[in-house]
Structure 1
Amino acid sequence: MTTIRQTSGPPATQILGVGSYQPERIVTNDELSQIMDTSDQWIRDRVGIVERRFAAKDERLVDMAVEAGSKALSDAGLEPSDVDTVIVPNCTMPSPIPNAAAQVADRIGVKAAGAFDLNAACAGFCYALGVASDLVKSGSSQRVLVIGAEKLTDVVDPVDRANAIIFADGAGAAVVGPADEPRIGPVVWGSAGDLVDTIYMREHKYIYQEGQSVFRWATTKIAPIAQRAVEAAGLSLADIDVLIPHQANLRIVEAIGKKLKAKGAREDLVVADDIVHSGNTSSASIPLALDHMRQKGRVSSGDVVLAVGFGAGLSYAGQIFVAP
């Protein structure tokens, strides 16, 4: 029988550095109220957003990903040549070909990289982090640059008050590499394909979601998934320092935090609320929130972080990692 050689990698992985990018233009609720039937208070009450960032018309998803990825490499103290794989989770590339990852890798300077996009919508970063960790542990990759990037303003009807008030643009990145002991836990993922019609592209042009249906699903299903991620890592909820759910809606984020505290998470658990000033940036929201929280001193190196993403598909994923 022919024997096929297998690669093997390090025993464990870690996040070596993170970075983020947001466009310059800040869009307030009052500005949106000038073009649709809404108000600052209405938006704050329903989704908790005060402002969000919109990219310029000529600013592309790839451009934002390059900025965030470059910052993550710098934060990790690495050169582009130290990375051999680039993954760009996203769901808003203008066309499926060419993918974002190969373009991003080349512009950053990661030559001849393994490069692919991953579409799990708002769960994309957690999916990609899990894939990156497994690639390194298997020996298929040495270091992986994961960049969640979205230009949602390309796919949102600008006068649809149910969705235009929520979505925004940006990118967040993390570098995954080898470690002597586990600093990224197993990914816990899945999907609810029977609910695929709750979030979809209307007329193949604009994103649409059944807000109440998604809200009910997220506020009932995501906390147990987060608990499973904690258990998969061999930890308890009391071990968690920081919770970073996908920044879909502040009410959803707060509901997940409350449910986890009721199940044993500490009262001083830090819960990400980056949506207030960044909006919903889909696959970028978790790394964007992580980087912002580090900058503000809300997350410190060594903190145990629980991340959980969820969105169209409906897809979900979560894992534990230690903040770099």
Structure 2
Amino acid sequence: MSGSRSTPRIITPPVRATARPRHWVKFFLTGLLLWACTVLVTFFTDNSNLVPTIVLLGSFLVPASVVIWAYERYAADLGPGLIFTCFGIGGVIGVLGASVLESYLLSPSAWMYVGVGLIEEAVKLAALVLVCRRLRVGGQLGGLRYGLVLGATVGAGFAAFESAGYAFNAVLSIQGLSLDDLVETEILRGVLAPVGHILWTAIIGGVLFRERRGGRFRCTAPVLLTYLGVSLLHALWDSTSGIAVWLVARTTTSDFQRALFDLGYMPNPSTEQVHLYTVYDTAGLLVVSLGGLLWLRLLVRREPGAPIPAQSPSAPA
């Protein structure tokens, strides 16, 4: 046998796929714990100075968690600066614009919620365009993906600031501060936030960025039809309570209640009617939510795979 030694084989260990960060889970659980502790301390101490903390934590927790999840999973190369800008500035611009336009353009009518949907979706879309006008992505370069994330971020900012206003109104009552109403309002709006403003603005944002060409946003037919569609979803969402009342009145009103109403008195609803209203209202919200989620799924599945640019896109100054 030869005295030469064979070259040792170098075995390279397999490279493990990098796990996606899940900071949103820690953020959500930590925020939820802090919110619950603040509620309990306020309940036992009657310290009204803690109410703003409850309002802010409860209003921003879910929208911010959704944004962090979307950013980590789908658009980490955008950078946190643009995400913060879309959430903060985009959300405030949307709330301010909606408040001004609704005050001057809307009046109580059967079509009021249609006007609310058109106005609020328009101001969120305008805020998205304003904040992202210098971002160099769109069209076939990941336009849909970036648009979905950035649209959802603007919608989350809008939802957070709007929820803070509703929570502030809920805590004020004739008897003083109502902690029960505040907690109930924040839980309800937190649960519904991902399938409301966040979902609607994500859809219109995805189509807007997909239709972008040459660094310019375009008002094409798909963008216009998507805007009208999400505005209709918004209007139906806001109308579910009124539709539920109408359905209960049409199906369960007794002759005595009808006679009182004809005389100008508002009859007290029965326990059965209250439960039936809750069922109708919840079912309406579920139908609208599923419609939006189905639309989002179809939008993503019909989009052909597009290459994501290797370099980070330029964020607005």
TM score, norm. by length of structure 1? 0.32
Greater C-alpha Rg? 2
Q: Which has the higher helix share?
A: 2
Q: Which has the higher strand share?
A: 1
TM score, norm. by length of structure 2? 0.32
Instruction: Tell me which of the two structures has the higher relative contact order, counting C-alpha pairs closer than 8 angstroms and 6 or more residues apart.
Output: 1
